Structure 1
Amino acid sequence: MAHWLRFEKDGGSGFGTLADGAIAVHDGSMFDDPRPTGERLPLEAVRLRTPCDPGKIIALWNNFHALSAKLGVGMPADPLYLLKAPTSALAPGETIRRPAAYAGRIAYEGELGIVIGRRCRDAAPAEAAAAIFGYTCVNDVTAADLIGRDPHFPQWARAKSFDGFGPFGPVIATGLDPSGLVVRTLLDGEERQNYPIGDMIFPAAELVRRLSQDMSLEPGDLVCCGTSIGIGSMKGPTNRIEVSIDGIGTLSNTFLS
């Protein structure tokens, strides 16, 4: 298993693997034959970026049995998803800010994220599994009151696409089977979500297979797997929001209302 990340240091940027608090710097492409340079940097000497630069962010809705039962909406026959603006991406440690144009509720949604590592379209099951580079932590931030504001058009994409509404990281974990892990979300140190990833209606490889039937998936694309019970609001004026998955790490951001 490896933990890949991207960083900034002294006006430059780079990427590498994290182990024991140190980054083994690499050259080339994270997704295509990365090569270690031999340089090592202490984690505290760098500023983390998002661990990849997604060309698109796909966000699932109603993908957990427990939440589906709570909402009383039934299990979908196909993955239900929206496209979230890539400009919503936010690095670990950065601040989620309330948009000036929106005064309503802002919700956290702790989730597992899938990072695509190779191009796939109309993938067979084995191809879909092989297209997964690794997994990350996601907070799918949502302007909850926007979704139903217009009675004729649910505004899912707008509600989730404000700048900074897509924190993910801190790393991409490879060589990991997430099906036995849990997602934990803490708001100001208090646990709000604790749910098993194995409760997904469409597990990771099946999600990738189904999505590849609709659109080409490219290296660096991020699939947010949906959330389960425990969604709530970040009320401010300042909150610390943390999404943790064992084997991946903890995504920590501040919300500023």
Structure 2
Amino acid sequence: MADDTTIPFILGMFTTSGSPAFPALVLDDDAAIAVEALAPLAARLGLALTGKESVFGLLQNWDHNFAALSAALAALADAKAGKYFRSALTASEFLTPCAPIDTPRQVLSELTGLPDAGELTFMPRLVSSVVGPKAKIPLPRRAGKVVAEAKIGVVVGQPAYQSSLQEAQAAIAGYLTVTDLTLLQGKHDRLSLGKFQPSFLPTGPLFVPKAFAGEIETAKMNLAVNGEVTIPSSLARRGETLAASLSRLSQDIQFFPGDILCCGAAGTPLLDDLPALGDGDIIETAVSGLGQQTLNTMTLSQQVAA
């Protein structure tokens, strides 16, 4: 748990100059440092990192790794202890963000904007739908209307099964921005194949640890298509806290570190009332405190050319 001396940080997966994706911390001043570069300092402090090859790996032992990263950052700020490590800092603007957690075991998404869906009902999503915050979204060849919603991704940091509300709250590691896309066709398709398309679940740009996310239950969500806001919304009055949703679902589902629960806002318009996405549209999804995505749709011909 963070205290007043903890240096706030957020985590992400990045590439630079075509490199393989790697995890890095981003600080308040937009300085970034690769986890791999920070690992020797954590080891010197007796807090060796585990799973440091990815954010997903770090989440497998999250309580320990969060404490280790926090201690290493505090040492980095110390004039003597961090002397040989500060040169590893770089400006985050030189890094290209990827999906913070690209291989979760499980993703569940809240069904909002459906006239026949029960309140706060969730459905599984395919991991193959998860992409990063700057993805090009391929429009399916199947006829139908594609729409997008803004959601908050709740990231699990501890195993959770039949958890109490308090246990579920403790199991939450942090949060990220999610765009949830749906292909609307028949009544049944929208509850199954309509959400299983490739790239239909962009995430990121960053994973924000719970300790630094502020009052997440009051977070504002905005989604704009070609600059026009379609869904300004908030979790307020959702009827169930994020931890309560995790606790309720855990009565039947075993959650693991790195799993993502995508939660929507109260008062979301019916999906049929949302604007249809077309060729070359720009989708901007933002959640206060969690960052913004900028996505582009692509036609089949554009996909082949790319």
Which TM class, normalised by the smaller chain length?
0.7 to 0.9
Structure 1 or 2: larger helix share? 2
Partner of 2:58: 30
1:40 to 86, 89, 97: 89
2:122 alignment partner AA: Y
Partner of 1:170: 205
The higher relative CO (CA closer than 8 Å, separation ≥ 6) is in 1
Q: Secondary structure at the match of 1:229?
A: coil
**1:117-176 Cα distance to aligned partner (Å, 9 max, x none):** 11111111111001111111111100012x42xxxx455121111110000111111222
**1:203-247 Cα distance to aligned partner (Å, 9 max, x none):** 100011011111111111111113442452343221111111111
Alignment of 1:1-257 (within 5 A): 1-9=8-16, 10-19=18-27, 20-27=29-36, 28=52, 29-31=57-59, 32=61, 33=65, 35=69, 39-53=88-102, 54-62=104-112, 71=115, 76=119, 79-100=120-141, 102-145=142-185, 147-148=186-187, 153-174=188-209, 175=211, 176=213, 177-227=215-265, 228-230=267-269, 231=271, 232-257=274-299
Classify 1:187/1:139 alpha carbon distance in 2 versus 1 (closer, same or farther; 3 Å).
same
Give the Cα separation in 1 of the matches to 2:181 and 2:117: 24
Q: Secondary structure at the match of 2:35?
A: strand
Give the Cα separation in 1 of the matches to 2:250 and 2:11: 24
The unaligned stretches of length 5 or more in structure 1 are none
Give the Cα separation in 1 of the matches to 2:200 and 2:295: 11
Give the Cα separation in 2 of the matches to 1:5 and 1:234: 31
Q: Secondary structure at the match of 1:23?
A: strand
Classify 1:80/1:124 alpha carbon distance in 2 versus 1 (closer, same or farther; 3 Å).
same
Q: Secondary structure at the match of 2:281?
A: strand
Q: Secondary structure at the match of 1:109?
A: strand
Contact 2:184-2:190 at 8 Å conserved across structures:
no
Give the Cα separation in 2 of the matches to 1:199 and 1:96: 31
Contact 2:183-2:190 at 8 Å conserved across structures:
no
Give the Cα separation in 1 of the matches to 2:290 and 2:117: 31
TM-score, length-normalised on structure 2? 0.73
2:275 alignment partner AA: S
Give the Cα separation in 1 of the matches to 2:58 and 2:268: 34
Classify 1:162/1:75 alpha carbon distance in 2 versus 1 (closer, same or farther; 3 Å).
closer
Contact 1:3-1:248 at 8 Å conserved across structures:
no
**1:54-86 Cα distance to aligned partner (Å, 9 max, x none):** 211101124xxxx68xx5x6964xx41111100
Aligned length: 242
Q: Secondary structure at the match of 1:103?
A: coil
Give the Cα separation in 1 of the matches to 2:182 and 2:118: 22
Contact 2:182-2:190 at 8 Å conserved across structures:
no
Query: How far is 1:41 from its partner?
Result: 3.0
Contact 2:106-2:260 at 8 Å conserved across structures:
yes
Structure 1 or 2: larger strand share? 1
> Over aligned residues, Cα RMSD in angstroms?
2.2
Contact 1:119-1:131 at 8 Å conserved across structures:
yes
Q: Percent identity?
A: 21
Query: How far is 1:103 from its partner?
Result: 2.3
Moved more, 209-218 or 232-241: 232-241
Question: Larger Rg: 1 or 2?
Answer: 2
